[in-house]
Amino acid sequence: MNVDSTYNTRSLVLIVDDDFFIRTLARDALGQAGFETEETSDGDEALSLFSRLQPDIVLLDVMLPGTDGFTVCRQIREHPEGANTPILMMTGLDDVESIRKAYDSGATDFISKPFNWHVLGYRVQYMLRSSRTLYDLDNSRLSLSYAQRIARLGSWEWNVENDRMRWSDAVYEIFNVDPQELDKTYQAFLNFIHPLDKELVSSAVEEALTQKKPYSIDHQILLPDGRERFVHSEAEVIADKNGKPVRMAGIMQDITERKEAEKQIRNLAYFDSLTGLPNRILFKENLDHALAHAGRKSSKVATLFLDLDRFKWINDTMGHSVGDKLLQEFASRLSKTVRKSDCITHDNLSQPFYSIARLGGDEFTIILDDINRSQDAAIVARRIIEESSKPFFLEGHEVFVTASIGISIYPDDANDIVTLIKYADTAMYHAKDLGKNNFQFYSRSMTDNAFELLLLENQLRHALEREEFTLHYQPQVDMVSGQVFCLEALLRWHNPELGMIPPSTFIPLAEETGLIVGIDEWVLKAVCRQLKVWEEEGLPPVRVAVNLSGQNFVQKNLPERIRAILETSGVRPECIELELTEGVLMKNGEETVATLNDLKAMGLSLAIDDFGTGYSSLSYLKRFQLDTLKIDKSFVQNIESDSENAAIVTAIIALAESMKLRIVTEGVETAEQLDTLRNLGCHRIQGFLLDRPQTSSDITLQLRDGKSYPKASLP
């Protein structure tokens, strides 16, 4: 027998018949066809054998002792592995009712007795082939269904002529609807499209039908429960032989999770994580859109650059957690202060939120679009300053801050975003220089000043290596003895290109750029060299006061550096007095106390310069081992006629005497001032009345000649 063995290799046939002769003939015929067989004459045993052997096909007689064939067939179909097993039932030739019952019981096919035994092998073979084809198709369908469910991908087909749609199960799941409750029309499909995207989808479908080309779009759908989902849709048109569109087939995939992930990535890329405001990148994009929009409408755009005054002090004093909450509260207050009518009102930037950005730290920016005149920006700036000045309540603390604001205008000041931002930043720093808590419009003079500062900074960075610094010395005189008891070393800078530059100009710049630390070290070394020269010339010993910037205290090795300079020069520590400001003493708490104690232990004298202009707290005076208080010259001006200044100086003198501190008054320029100070009990004087700052050569001559000053007796 030539039977195709592709489908019957090791296939097992279960023969169930109570006729021994039939079983034998069937076994022989199937064996010749290459099948393995098992047989039984009992219906109950047939069920047991099926469970144990799980045959590939069952040859089942209708009439059996005990449980009949129909019952066996139904029970096989109820078995977990029997739903798709082919069952060939054997019936009598004219037994039509048995044939009907066989199909009702779940039989795959039937064969009438008597039958041709030579044909049986082929019949079983083709049943297995058909069964396995159906099995493969079913598996393929299930696999496709599983894949679509996992990918949240569904398919659909639309008959354009009769307006009927067929959707896969996955589409129903995406729409979250029961298939029985949905009308299968295009309009029903369109009802699921989000109102904002209906025009997009309708246009894509219409273009596909007219142009006969596929479309691929992302859009939103609206579920019956009100939830919004994002889907990706693709479709193509199927036309008849005349080119007329008759069907449209497409797929739809739920991409909500991908869109959410993209949104999170966008938030990380374009929004500040602390305040939720747009960051620098998105701010520049928004400003670029605003400028393009203003260019088309010939309108103006204002760029506001904000910086919180004293934020660093709050952050350092109260902690970063309070600082972060302050920034969050300020951002929220800023969003409420800037009204919708103030800001961008075009394209996708309709929310005021997008006109505000945090660039980093305590810097914020605002875009004001479609303004008619520059003063419109001033109105918003005033409103921001007013709101910023109101107290913030953070972690049980009442915190006050102010804001400095710079404003640049397009196209008046510049036509590109880089320059506008730079100019607004320049104007903001000008607002800070004018006392903070105000706003300033950019002007050309600010750029000129900034350029001058940049040039000055470049020259300052090379001043040390080019040896452009010199020292002058101003005597401090004890008017009782008429003798110089100390010299203050004062730095002078002469630049070949810029000429003589006053200390009031370059010292703050050196502080800001950090160059002051190197400059202070140069000054101390130069003073030590000069003291050594005077000592070797046999001149009378004199103490020299050296100003020390607070930035030196940030360096952890200040005492070691000063000790190394003294040891290298061979100058005794008692010849050096270090002048500090009150602000220096108040910073860094215990670290500053420890540093000053180390300096004092070395034998150095310590003085407070410009006393009375800073914190003037008795508590810190008690903590530091100080030697001298220097009364600031602002209290000396008009002291002979200003009773308040006289009272302040009197109090400082009394304080110094009670704490056994030397008192020196700076800025004495007139005889009237000197007389008043003498009457108040202050006799250690420094100022133009006695001597202006002099070169080291002039001081050398004075020391050599033993110059003395007129004595003034105290009352």
Give 301-328 pLDDT, tens digit per residue.
999 999 999 888 888 888 888 899 999 9
Domain final residue pick, 109, 130, 146: 146
**Structural domain includes residue 363:** yes
Q: Are 15 and 69 in contact (CB under 8 A)?
A: no
pLDDT for res 150: 60
Digit-coded pLDDT (tens) for 72-92: 999 998 988 888 899 988 876
Domain check: are 538 and 686 in the same one?
yes
Digit-coded pLDDT (tens) for 239-295: 988 889 999 999 888 888 888 888 888 878 889 989 989 999 999 999 999 999 888
Domain final residue pick, 146, 174, 204: 146
**Structural domain includes residue 292:** yes
Domain check: are 132 and 183 in the same one?
no
Q: Which long-range contacts (CB under 8 A, 24 or more apart) does 134-142 make?
A: 134/84, 135/84, 138/84
Give me the chain's average pLDDT, please: 86
Domain check: are 332 and 430 in the same one?
yes
Domain check: are 464 and 438 in the same one?
no
Domain check: are 134 and 165 in the same one?
no
Digit-coded pLDDT (tens) for 323-355: 999 999 999 999 888 865 554 444 434 444 468
pTM: 0.50
Domain check: are 170 and 140 in the same one?
no
pLDDT for res 100: 84
Read off the pLDDT of each residue in 168-172 and give the average, rounded to a whole number.
85
The tokens of 98 are what?
A: 């048995």
Domain check: are 604 and 537 in the same one?
yes
| Residues spanned by the domain of 552 | 457-705
Q: Quick check: 168 pLDDT over 90? A: no
**Structural domain includes residue 140:** yes
Domain check: are 550 and 586 in the same one?
yes
Domain count, the chain: 4
373-397 burial, b for 16+ CB within 10 Å, e for fewer? eeebbeebbeebbeebeeebebeee
Q: How many CB atoms lie within 10 A of CB 627?
A: 16
pLDDT for res 573: 95
CATH code, domain with 482 = 3.20.20.450
Q: How many CB atoms lie within 10 A of CB 82?
A: 20
What whole-number distance in Å separates Cα of residue 333 and Cα of residue 275? 11
What whole-number distance in Å separates Cα of residue 531 and Cα of residue 514? 27
Q: Which of 318, 314, 316, 327 minimizes the C-alpha distance to 272?
A: 327
Domain check: are 504 and 615 in the same one?
yes
**Structural domain includes residue 710:** no
More confident residue, 350 or 203: 203
What whole-number distance in Å separates Cα of residue 312 and Cα of residue 316? 6
**Structural domain includes residue 39:** yes
Residue 413 backbone phi and psi in degrees, to 5: -95, -40
CATH code, domain with 189 = 3.30.450.20
Digit-coded pLDDT (tens) for 647-677: 888 888 888 888 888 999 999 999 998 988 8
The tokens of 288 are what?
A: 């670029």
Read off the pLDDT of each residue in 35-60 and give the average, rounded to a whole number.
91
Domain check: are 159 and 140 in the same one?
no
**Structural domain includes residue 250:** yes
CATH code, domain with 335 = 3.30.70.270
DSSP 653-675: HHHHHHTT-EEEE----SHHHHH
Report CA torsion sign: 374, 377, 424, 285.
negative
**Structural domain includes residue 16:** yes
Domain check: are 585 and 466 in the same one?
yes
Domain final residue pick, 411, 442, 473: 442
Digit-coded pLDDT (tens) for 404-460: 999 999 998 999 999 999 999 999 998 998 889 999 998 887 777 767 777 888 899
Tell me the H-state helices in 537-681: 558-569, 582-586, 589-601, 618-623, 643-658, 671-680
Domain check: are 579 and 700 in the same one?
yes
The one-character DSSP state at 271 is B
CATH code, domain with 41 = 3.40.50.2300
Residue tagged 């159906």 (tokens): 134
**Structural domain includes residue 240:** yes
